[in-house]
Structure 1
Amino acid sequence: MSSQALSDDQVATELKKMTAFIKQEALEKAREIQIKADEEFAIEKSKLVRSETSSIDGQYEKKFKQASMSQQITRSTMANKTRLRVLSARQSVLDDLFEQTRGKVGDVSKRGDYVEIMKGLLLEGLYALNEPKVQIRVRKADIDIVQQAFEGAKKECKENLGKEVEVEIIGKDPLPEDSAGGMYIIGGQGKIEINNTLEERLRICETDSLPSVRVTLFGKNENRKFTD
C-alpha cells in the first residue's frame, strides 16, 4: 500500500501542474474576454462616433441652410431696395423731363413752322371725322394762323378724300389765351370733339410714348419679356 501511495513531493508537483494549468486556462479565458470586450467597445465606439458625426452633420446642414436662406433674403431685400431706388431715380428724371417740356410747350406757337403744326393737327381731325363741315376752337391769337393752315389742309383733303371740307371757327368760345395752342375739332353735329391742343398732345406723349422714351434714356430692359 505504501509503495503505491504518492509521496508528498509528487503530490505537490501534481498540484503545481494543476494550478498552472488552471491559471493558464484562466489567463487564456481572460484574454478572450478582454479581446471580445475590446471588439464590442470598438463597435459601440464606432456606432457612437457615427451617430454623433451624423448628428453634427445634420446640425451643420440645418445651420448652413438657415444661413443660406438668410443670405438669399438679405440679397433679395438689398436687390429690391436698389431696384426701387433706381426706379425712383428714373421716375424723377422722367418727371423733370416732362415738367421742363410742359414749361416749354407754349414756345411752340412762337416757332416759324407753327402754321404747319396747326395744319397737321387740323388734318388729323378732318381725317378722323371725315365730315364735310367741322367746327374748331382755337385761341384768338391763333385765328389767322388757323386760316392759313386751313388753306393747305383743304387742298390735301380734296386730294386724299376727294371732297371739299368746310371749317368754321367758333369765335364765341375760344381757347384760353394762356393755353399753349392747338385746337379742339368738333364734328357729329357738336357731339364729337377731338382734343388736339398742344397740352393734350404732350399728355398723350407722356403716356403712349413713355416706353420709347424710357428706352432712349435708360436703354432696353433685358428683364422684360414683353414691351407692349
Structure 2
Amino acid sequence: MSQSHALSDDQVAGELRKMTAFIRQEALEKGREIQLKADEEFAIEKSKLVRQETAAIDTQYEKKFKQAAMSQQITRSTLANRTRLRVLGARQELLDELFQEARGQISGIAAKDAKKYQEVLQALILEGLYALNESNVDVRARKKDKDAVKKAIGEVEKEFKNAVGREVKVNLDEEEPLPDDNAGGVSIIGGNGKIEINNTFEERLRLLEIDALPAVRETLFGKNTNRRFYD
C-alpha cells in the first residue's frame, strides 16, 4: 500500500519563496554582470572616442598652426619685399641724382675752361682715330664747339702722324652736328659712315655709370650691398 506525501500549503509557499529568491538572485547577478559588461564597453568606447577626438583636434590644430605659420611667413615676406623695394627705390633715386648732378657739371666744362675743353676734345678725337685706324674720318660736334673742334683736329692730326707714322685726314661734319642740348664731346665716324664711335660726354658718363655703379653703391651703402639688394 503506497503512502502519499502531499505538500501542505505552507510547504508549497515555502518552496515558491525559495524559487523566487533563487530566480531573483540569478537576475541580480546577471544584471550586475550585464552592468559591468556595459560599463566596460562604455569605458572602451569612451576611450576610443576620446582618442579619436583628440587626434582630430591635434590634426586640426596642426593644420591651423601650419596655416598660421604660412600666413605669418607670407606677411613677413610681403613686408620684407615692400621694405626692400622702398630701399631699392630710395637708393636708385640717390644714384640717379648723383649722376644727374655729374651731367650738370660736365655740361659746364666748355664754358668754364675753354683750353681744358679743347684738350679733352683732342683726347676724345685721338682715341677714336686709334680705334678706327683709318686715313679719313669725320667728326661730329655741337655747332657752338665748331672753333674748339677745328683747333683740336689740327693738333690731333699732328699727334696721330707722330705716333703712327702716317697722315690722317679729319673732317668736321657741319651738316649733321650734335644736338645743342648735348653735354659736349664728339662722335667719330669711319668705315664710310658705317662705324660710329660715340665719344660724347653723355655717352661716356653713361658707360661710366654702368662700370662704376657697383663701386659707387659700395661707397654709398657699404659692402655686400650689391649682393644683398641687386643680385
How far apart are the structure 1 equivalents of 2:53 and 2:15?
56
How far apart are the structure 1 equivalents of 2:39 and 2:181?
105
Write out per-residue CA displacement over residues 18-66 of structure 1, whole angstroms, 9 at most, x where no aligned residue.
3333232222111110111101111221222223223322332332233
1:1-228 counterparts in 2 under 5 A? 1=3, 4-5=5-6, 13-109=14-110, 110=113, 114=117, 117-138=120-141, 139-142=145-148, 143-156=150-163, 158=164, 163-170=165-172, 172=174, 179-218=182-221, 219-220=223-224, 221-223=226-228
Q: 1:111 to 1:26 in 2, by over 3 A?
A: farther
Q: 1:151 to 1:212 in 2, by over 3 A?
A: farther
Size of the aligned set, in residue pairs, is: 220
1:115–1:146 contact (8 Å) kept in structure 2: no
State the shift of 1:92 in Å. Answer: 0.4
Q: What TM-score, normalized by structure 1, do the two folds share?
A: 0.76
Q: Secondary structure at the match of 1:27?
A: helix
| Identity of matched residues, % | 60
User: Which segment is superposed worse, 70-79 or 171-180?
Assistant: 171-180
Q: 1:20 to 1:46 in 2, by over 3 A?
A: same
Structure 2: give runs of 5+ residues left out of the alignment: none
State the shift of 1:125 in Å. Answer: 0.8
State the shift of 1:6 in Å. Answer: 5.1
State the shift of 1:185 in Å. Answer: 1.6
Q: 1:118 to 1:175 in 2, by over 3 A?
A: same
Q: What TM-score, normalized by structure 2, do the two folds share?
A: 0.76
How far apart are the structure 2 equivalents of 1:223 and 1:178?
38
* Structure 2 residue identity aligned to 1:42: A
2:157–2:168 contact (8 Å) kept in structure 1: no
Q: 1:14 to 1:175 in 2, by over 3 A?
A: closer
* Structure 2 residue identity aligned to 1:199: E
How far apart are the structure 1 equivalents of 2:35 and 2:174?
122
Instruction: Report the RMSD for the aligned CA atoms in angstroms.
Output: 3.3
Q: Secondary structure at the match of 2:73?
A: helix
Structure 1: give runs of 5+ residues left out of the alignment: none
